[in-house]
Structure 1
Amino acid sequence: MSTNRVIDLSVKKLSGTITGEELSELEAFISENDELLKVHEEAVTIWEKSNKYVPKVSIDAETSWNSLQRRLKEKPQANVFSLSQFYKIAAAIAISIGLGVSAFNLWDTERYVTNEGEKLEVSLADQSLITLNENSSLTISRVFNKEFRMVVFEGEAYFDITENPEKPFIIETNSTEIRVLGTSFNVDARSEKKSVEVDVTTGLVSLTEIDNSSNQVVLSSGMKGIFNSESKELVSLESENENFQAWRTEVLVFDDLKMPRVLSDIEEYFEIDISASNEDILNCTFTSTFSKPTVREVVEILSLTLDLEYQQVGDQYTLTGEGCKEVQE
């Protein structure tokens, strides 16, 4: 927890929002612990290098952008992408390097889309690899990696990003901006969930509300960030779910896991409904690993291990039996 706290305090210090009491707390952490000092220094590095990306221009990019928007409206509606902040920033970059706003063509993009039951690996020009889950979309400018690295994303995907300190990798979702230098992480930004979840495997990732840059968390390996698009709440916590990328690895791991979490992971992976007929079943824990499993295999082994039975009606499964009288530790 000290690591998470140091990251939070470091971000507050860098953004100028830290209080005197919090500053004293941060200084105590980093003066007494070399590992926490390294965490702070790494946070400073990623902050400073990523901020180099923002163009320092004195021109009126807003006027140029509005002019571009007016021209866009003259195009056939079928060709128009969502005019997100991604394009606005990209237009400003084009202006800042002397190309003029007309040089950034909003239709000069590649868009990758997966349908129900499909997965897709996308290799980018910088050697980064993105694996899209079903019902996802990824939009990339054809000038990607020349002046900047930015994509627009919706759905769920695993990102394995090539390190480039001079060109941070930026992912824009409907409600958040995710910024990294080189790292691997999972993003779940499915519109039906009303939230954006980021699970970090390696490296550091910043997660920021797109309309409020002060609402930000920095996540390190093993951490999870969740932004609620309705309440605007943004939290960071230690990730306890080993199965956040099971959709990609096709491996389910349950290591002495409590039954509510087990059932939730099974539902998520197989897109089914599974419930317990009584509270005692939810007291149980379960340990097993499955590679490329079928739903029948998982449910049958789960039932056999815990001395349960199950009933199936379509995609709905109900576990029955005595369960566990007390929560297993």
Structure 2
Amino acid sequence: MTPEEFQELLLRYQRNEATAEEQQRIHAWYDRLAADSQEELPAAERPPLQAKLWSTIRERIDEPEPEIQIRPLRKAGWYVGVAASILLVLSIGLWFWTQSSVNSGQLAFHTAAPLITARGPQTLTLSDQSQVTLLQGSSLRYSSTFTGKLREVDLQGTAFFQITKNPEKPFLVHTGSLETKVLGTSFWVRHQPKQSYVQVQVVTGKVSVQQDQNQVILVPNQLVTYSREKPWLQTGLVQNPLVVDASVSMRFKDVPLLRVVERLEKRYGISLLIKQSALRQCPFTGDLTGLGLYEQLGMICQALNATYQSDGTQILLQGAGCR
């Protein structure tokens, strides 16, 4: 049960709209909370403990339902007063919780913002006309309208973002301890909270990914990964690079490798380096149309007796030279 659902339940209880089962659940929850304290605190000592109490409430309401025991019912008014007290603490606790999230670099807007959990692939259109496609089981919390200087969302799971360009109001995606900042672009974000794993892949445009004081800038076909096992920003290339400039011809006839590499860089927006100078002038002939980048590199290397390997966000070609 979310904090908002719990708060709504308490409000229904106060208005005498809760069902008999819901009333019994509230009574049982409070009895279990009350059992944690053997004395009543003076009013002056309560405010410092409100955030801690809210944390306890969150833990308790998600525990398995307690076994209902037959006991003399207390007066309904007593429980209504308790519900009112918990609502007060709950409201203040929500404020503390929100402020804590802001201070730790998490979502800056109130946690009461809409939360969507996709049961299957689902595309959402945000108030700025940006579109977010959530994969099954992924959740997105976002403001119904973006106010202030930023557009912010909180993601758990995997989603594809197509962001409406607005240089005056950057778009921020919060995923655990990572923050992805864009002005207008499209990209993937994969977030697995339990493993503290986040990966950002850029399709078009440019994004900034930040973790604490560390920051990297990504362009198309680049990615960054952060995980509990490797707690630093690891940059690399996507598994299947997409074409960013389809006008570049992939037909070659006795073209020096240096010129072949220049075409590949333009077509995919990826940096390729030739390690040995003797390899740069080796001529290549072939039609690579319709093949993926790594298939194209495989054919080039086979023809020139060379090899290639990824090194961060670039590809390194090396070999002894022409046969």
Q: For this structure pair, what is the TM-score category when the shorter chain's length is used for normalisation?
A: 0.3 to 0.5
TM-score (norm 2): 0.44
Tell which has more relative contact order, 1 or 2 (C-alpha 8 A, sep 6+): 1
Structure of larger gyration radius: 2
* TM-score, with length taken from structure 1: 0.43
